[in-house]
Amino acid sequence: MPRVGETIRAAVLDSPNATPRVVAFGTPTLSPGSALLRTLYSEVCGTDVHIWRGRMPGVPFPIIPGHVSVGVLAAVSGRLTDIHGSRFKEGDVITFLDVHGTCNHCWHCLVAKQTTRCPHRKVYGITYGVDDGMLGGWSEAIWMKPGLKMLRIPNGLRPETFIGGGCGLVTAVHVMDRADVQLGQTVVVLGVGPVGQSIIALAAQAGAGQVIAIGDPVDRLAFARRMGATHAIGLDLPPDERVAEVRRMTGGRGADIVIEAAGAPIAVSQALDLVRDGGRVVVAGQYSDHGDVPINPHRQVNRTHVEIRGVWGSDYSHFHRAVEFAAHWGDRIPWAEQVSGRYPLERVQEALEAVEQRRVLKALVVPGPAT
């Protein structure tokens, strides 16, 4: 049976740019409808770097970061069930929707049908502070609050495979909804980090005729080909030459769909130059304010009749479908191989630096020694 000690160690970030410190907390008393998750893996993604650097507004420091995690249920209080009515029990390997507290009563939830914009929503590892409890993944254990949506990791799906996709895979599911890729279309993906890699994989599986990855460094472009990219273009090629290359591949038209997953504002303007007349641009990488970028609305949008769609956050449907897809395709798509750094709690500072400097494609926090 999974065990958690009388104290639980966690990495706490006290303020922007601070060095995370390991703190011992008491094991929480579980109220009915809650559970305690022994953490196996919690990822370190670009959002965590933004939090660390003070680029995410509304973060209630000090916090325990880590918003996408996988673990083993160590204790369950009361009857907790999944969407099929199957009861969760101690020893189950699960992940969970990091968004909690969506109200289902406000205008955003009921009229706009955009639960990711609900003003009442909270996010584990981002908008919960230490005073709220053990509500971040960079911890030996995580408190599953009543009402939190948990998902069992299916038999045959290795936890390492799912967390290898992790936040990037869940985001990519939302992106695919917004992109609406049709069979045979040409899709350009700007950015080859974890989000871009999963978008490439899903676009290929959705039947895109060409999936063109644009980004750097070279090893990430090589990995993008393994994820399903048919072509790869490096940033050593000037922007106008990248446009010319994409047009050469598409009969002079440009891509049907361009998905920005780079996080750099200039990539949005470049996406508008790469898309065909009447095509679609999906902006998925702008999760913090990195400044403005010049766009010519006549030349890049109005005259070309381009459609622009944004992507923000994830809901239960995205998590559920990500788990289901990984369960069926995880042995054929190398998500687990994206993980190139594993760090114990004492070394999460190194993990943040490695992600920020792009020395790793994906980093994981683990409760024990790094391997």
Evaluate if residue 352 carries a pLDDT over 50: yes
Q: Specify the pLDDT at position 320.
A: 97
The pLDDT > 90 percentage for the chain reads: 94
Q: Beta strand pairing status for 362-365 and 307-310?
A: unpaired
pLDDT by residue (tens digit) across 232-241? 999 999 999 9
pLDDT by residue (tens digit) across 19-33? 999 999 999 999 999
Tell me the angle at which helices 194-205 and 316-329 cross, rounded to the nearest 10 degrees: 70
CA distance 56 to 283: 18
pTM of the model: 0.95
Beta carbons within 8 Å of 318's beta carbon, 6+ residues apart: 170, 171, 173, 174, 177
Beta carbons within 8 Å of 350's beta carbon, 6+ residues apart: 343
What number of other Cβ atoms are within 10 A of residue 82's Cβ? 15
The distance from CA 136 to its chain's CA centroid, rounded to whole angstroms, is: 15
The pLDDT > 70 percentage for the chain reads: 98
**DSSP characters over 233-272:** EETTS-HHHHHHHHHHHTTTS-EEEEEE-S--THHHHHHH
CA distance 133 to 45: 22
Beta carbons within 8 Å of 184's beta carbon, 6+ residues apart: 207, 208, 209
The H-or-E segment that residue 93 falls in is: strand 93-96
CA distance 21 to 81: 35
Look at phi and psi of residue 30 and say left if phi exceeds 0, alpha if psi is from -120 to 50, else beta. beta
Q: Specify the pLDDT at position 275.
A: 98
pLDDT band at 186 (very low <50, low <70, confident <90, very high): very high
Evaluate if residue 14 carries a pLDDT over 80: yes
pLDDT by residue (tens digit) across 301-336? 999 999 999 999 999 999 999 999 999 999 999 999
pLDDT by residue (tens digit) across 227-262? 999 999 999 999 999 999 999 999 999 999 999 999
Q: Which residue has the tokens 């890729």?
A: 181
Q: Specify the pLDDT at position 318.
A: 96
Evaluate if residue 54 carries a pLDDT over 60: yes
Burial of 308 (0-12, 13-18, 19+ CB in 10 A): middle
What's the average model confidence in pLDDT over 271-288? 96
pLDDT by residue (tens digit) across 153-163? 999 999 999 99
